[in-house]
Chains A and B, each alone.
Chain A
């Protein structure tokens, strides 16, 4: 491609008085006119308004502009507006650069017109320097497979599958258990409506079973997932049932004759099942299966009584697992929850006393479909318990064996249980031992009131110990009633531990396959807790239900609908475009060291370290954080639209004149720059000595940028990004931190004060803190002597030249990480 002449148009906005009130915009316009490659410099009252935009288009045509700089407000407000504007004039939207002289100059230096104007001029100069090097970019189009994968067939997965299928999309529902239904199928009643759980869920399960667009794969596991949004490839293992579910008529003869008896895990072990069994009567798929782990054996066939008994001949003891490969556009993860096992809490005696049970075990005892046909009896003597105690927060809200969070549903579950017991046994004495009763949702407080009205006792205090009377097997509780500050003793027939919710035991297996992050409590991490609660940080993957955090059925169903709707947005599109900020590998320089693959938060890079074939970046999966480019020691990765050359040019422009007066700050787009914008919007004042360079992520800030700034005479450099666990690109800022720490060590060795490189994590909400840091930096800058700066320039130049002499490529013995 022939190198065309760069023709830049600069449009300086008055923004009414917002900018013109404290910045001499005419002076800025005149200054811009004189910059190399600027062919026209225009001033406008309101550039974003229609007349202003028309003027931009007019000048683009008149002056054959091929780069546009708009000096106005923050790009986070109007970058898209002006991109669309220049696109309408026939230019590629990526040749636009915004110079924020409002949030970062006019609004924060209200009382020093000269300084504000000088700073605005510098900001425009920096923007022009970048604009000079901007290239047209093309947003890649990705085709979309119109199909969705739902992992998990509990109420959330069922709802998501139905919503997507009803919207016209093909759905694959993969469920690990032999039947869908999840935890909700094991409950008796639900709060606050006191609906029968399986009665409500059953019809939905049937709908899934017979929906033409839902392919249900029960008794199946996800083996592998590859690809990216719109184009996922999924490998599913359909584990053998040993029964042909299309032929089975659920007659039950196989179970009748099966000799193997074992505890029924769906009845919490209170009753038994056979190795040939159906999980529960309402199971979908409606078919029996053989539990081959406990069957007497199929190699050789030891028993075969089931085979003989089956009229339909649908049992095949040599059935094999089947591997199925699917292609889907989106994935919804709805794998549900685990339940806390209270055995470690020896003081409650769960493992020692028969009549201490968990809330889940209670659910089966009171359920009509349960092991006792719904007659509430206690395990030791099968008598109806008259005095029952509930202990709340078992395994929740604690750092002392259990989990630190609140499990959301246990308070309401106990209130519901108390009403259930009273229904069956109006004379029962029920005590609920609690720290707080959390009845926050619609209808919740009403249920709590009903429970109190009907005579359930609520005692504020958790028992310190539970002991057992060896003769009666009654439980004795000692508890401090904290409202009266007195120790009380209770003798009860049964104690129910209100156990908390947990992430599933083997969630790690799935999060590894899907490259999902987990939060500190083990649940999956959402893209943004407020604004994107059902999105995974990885595009195309969504969450619904308890996999994301403990919640009740209503919230699970709500999330399922949300996940389905957001999936639909992708599936409805023929093609997806993704922003053209991508990493590109120069294979001639790539050493296949594998560092880029290690640091990529999205797993978008694959490197075969042994074969040395070079790093392969999947562009559609690349989010553009730039961490790989910053970590690559061979300069083999270029970032589109935020290239090394552009950033270096911005540094040069900023430090061309009077560098000792300028502090260079690298700000990440999502947090720090936004924090700066907020400081501007709030009109917080700070000294005008800072010059900002925006990158998408602090992970982009390579060592060489910082050293270049120091070598050009910068007194101070600030690197700033999101707070450590809030990085917009999952965890890229961890690498920023390590990089800066390493650089501090080297600065010390070179005799450069490490404090001259500052590292601060500033969130988008921290406007005041941003301003304060600006003030602190200026105070520090004033203490930096010119001797120091000269010494730094000398030392860094020597370092750079000696490194060049030693050869461009360093011998890599071990990567930094």
Chain B
């Protein structure tokens, strides 16, 4: 059990009271009776647990709903990530979704001799400040749009919107030509080595360019850079902001004015931005600053928000689809015309479900928050 010592201590897993609230609120357990976060931990910690493989550990969405409800905020997702690492170290083969394309992409980005041509999408009118010690971290949006071309999902729209907002707000920033994937998905999968390679390479690149502050539009990159990098690599880390944290104070104080858009919208709290990072208000403040926009909340919002079903590119099955359909039902019930989200993963997964779910959720349009806010400026 020694490799799990640290996780057992950090996650408080031994404080579990076996009350079962986590199981009830878990979106996966709702649709899959075989999945039980509480039992995963119990089985692993049981006396004779060596040798037996728990296949259900790959189904966790890391949505943190269990942590939210738990009496002691036991960090089941973090424990499951450690179990995955253990399983991989023992030679388990994981099934990746999309034929492992994303894992391949991340491993490619970990190569030392990496040469990327990843900034062709950058609009000509975006102002970059080469001297700035603030970095805008793009994330994997350029690659997502290539891989999901057929879905018509455009995560780069969100990035472009973010850049436009930052320019308009007169926040100087630079963009790195050789940015690599933040590595979050590898970390969550249990591929610690892969994650560390990416992380170290990124940190070196940041240091080389004198980066002191990072702003990003992707909640997963935000949390990984802010919390996982110092946690796994040591050191104090750089200041990291999500775009909404940079923009919201400016719209609140009136320094930045957004435009007008007459629509009913609802907001999907991304799990990593909401429950994990406790950023609930800033995105809503930005939406509130767009004149004519009416925000209606879904039945499950803020701390209770329902996950979009993303699994770090591990699984994509009936359960994930059922979760997504449930979310669309809630979006439609709210009467919203647009489902606004602040996460490229939410965008991709909801759009995919929308396209293939025989008409479910067809009426609601999915848009990124930054993209919508930037559009209102025109």
Contact = CB atoms under 8 A, between A and B. Distances in A.
B72 A480 contact: no
Contacts of B23: 464, 480, 485, 487
A463 B38 CA distance: 14
Interface in B348-370: none
Given A480-B38, A482-B38, A485-B36, A464 B71 contact: no
Interface stretch (A134-142, A397-405, A603-611, A675-683): A397-405
Contacts, number: 60
Contacts of B203: none
Contacts of A485: 23, 36, 39
Closest 7 CB pairs of A and B: A464-B24, A480-B20, A398-B71, A461-B20, A480-B23, A462-B19, A464-B21
14 contacts: A393-B19, A398-B71, A400-B69, A400-B73, A463-B21, A463-B24, A464-B24, A465-B25, A478-B24, A480-B20, A480-B29, A485-B23, A487-B23, A487-B24
A486 interface: yes
B71 A400 contact: yes
B19 A461 contact: yes
Given A479-B24, A482-B19, A487-B24, A400 B70 contact: yes
Contacts of B20: 460-462, 464, 479-482
B119 interface: no
A177 to B, nearest CB: 33
Interface string A456-478: 00001111110000000000001
A347 interface: yes
B72 A435 contact: no
A397 B71 contact: yes
Contact of A435 (B18, B24, B29, B39): B18
B33 interface: yes
A479 B38 CA distance: 13
B233 interface: no
B308 interface: no
Range of interface residues on B (Cβ < 8 Å) = 20 to 34
Interface residues of A, number: 21
Contacts of B73: 399-400
Given A398-B72, A464-B69, A479-B20, 7 more contacts: A398-B71, A400-B69, A400-B73, A435-B17, A465-B25, A480-B36, A482-B19
Contacts of A465: 24-25
Nearest to A392: B19
Contacts of A479: 20, 24
A478 B69 CA distance: 14
Interface in B9-25: 17-25
Nearest to B34: A485
Contact of B17 (A347, A397, A486, A487): A397
A98 B210 CA distance: 68
A688 B232 CA distance: 46
A465 B29 CA distance: 14
A435 B19 contact: yes
Contacts of B30: 487
A389 to B, nearest CB: 14
Nearest to A486: B33
Nearest to A464: B24
Contacts of A481: 20
Question: In this complex, which of B21, B29, B39 has the most chain A Cβ atoms within 10 angstroms of its Cβ?
Answer: B21
Contact of A462 (B21, B33, B72): B21
Question: In this complex, which of A398, A464, A465, A478 has the most chain B Cβ atoms within 10 angstroms of its Cβ?
Answer: A464
Contact of B71 (A347, A399, A478): A399
Interface in B55-70: 69-70
B18 A464 contact: no
B75 to A, nearest CB: 13
Question: In this complex, which of B23, B24, B25, B73 has the most chain A Cβ atoms within 10 angstroms of its Cβ?
Answer: B24
A731 B22 CA distance: 40
Nearest to A402: B71
Given A461-B19, A482-B20, A487-B23, A347 B69 contact: yes
B307 to A, nearest CB: 15
Given A397-B71, A400-B71, A400-B73, A464 B38 contact: no
Contacts of B24: 463-465, 478-480, 487
A481 B36 CA distance: 12
Nearest to A477: B24
Contacts of A347: 25, 69
Contacts of B22: 464
Interface string A389-415: 000010001111000000000000000
Contacts of B25: 347, 464-465
A282 to B, nearest CB: 39
Question: In this complex, which of B36, B70, B71 has the most chain A Cβ atoms within 10 angstroms of its Cβ?
Answer: B71
A728 B36 CA distance: 48
Contacts of B33: 486-487
A435 B72 CA distance: 14
Interface in B209-266: none
A362 B13 CA distance: 35
Nearest to A400: B71
Contacts of A486: 33
Interface in B133-162: none
A89 B38 CA distance: 72
A642 B17 CA distance: 51
Contacts of A397: 17, 71
Interface in A329-376: 347
A488 to B, nearest CB: 9
B178 to A, nearest CB: 43
A487 B36 CA distance: 10
Contacts of A435: 17-19
A460 B19 CA distance: 7
Contacts of B71: 397-400
Interface in A436-467: 460-465
A478 B23 CA distance: 10
Interface in B62-100: 69-73
Question: In this complex, which of A435, A463, A480, A482 has the most chain B Cβ atoms within 10 angstroms of its Cβ?
Answer: A480
A465 B72 CA distance: 17
B240 to A, nearest CB: 27
Contacts of A399: 71-73
A479 B23 CA distance: 8
Contacts of A393: 19
A481 B39 CA distance: 12
Contacts of A461: 19-20
A462 B18 CA distance: 9
Interface in B280-333: none
Contacts of A487: 23-24, 29-30, 33
A319 to B, nearest CB: 49
A196 to B, nearest CB: 34
A400 B38 CA distance: 17
Contacts of A400: 69-73
B303 to A, nearest CB: 9
A101 to B, nearest CB: 45
A393 B17 CA distance: 11
Contacts of A464: 20-25, 69
A487 B23 CA distance: 8
A486 B20 CA distance: 10
A393 B19 CA distance: 10
Interface in B27-48: 29-30, 33, 36, 38-39
A487 B22 CA distance: 11
B66 to A, nearest CB: 9
Contacts of B69: 347, 400, 464
A629 to B, nearest CB: 42
Nearest to B25: A464
Contacts of B19: 393, 435, 461-462, 482
B366 to A, nearest CB: 27
Question: In this complex, which of B19, B33, B38, B71 has the most chain A Cβ atoms within 10 angstroms of its Cβ?
Answer: B19
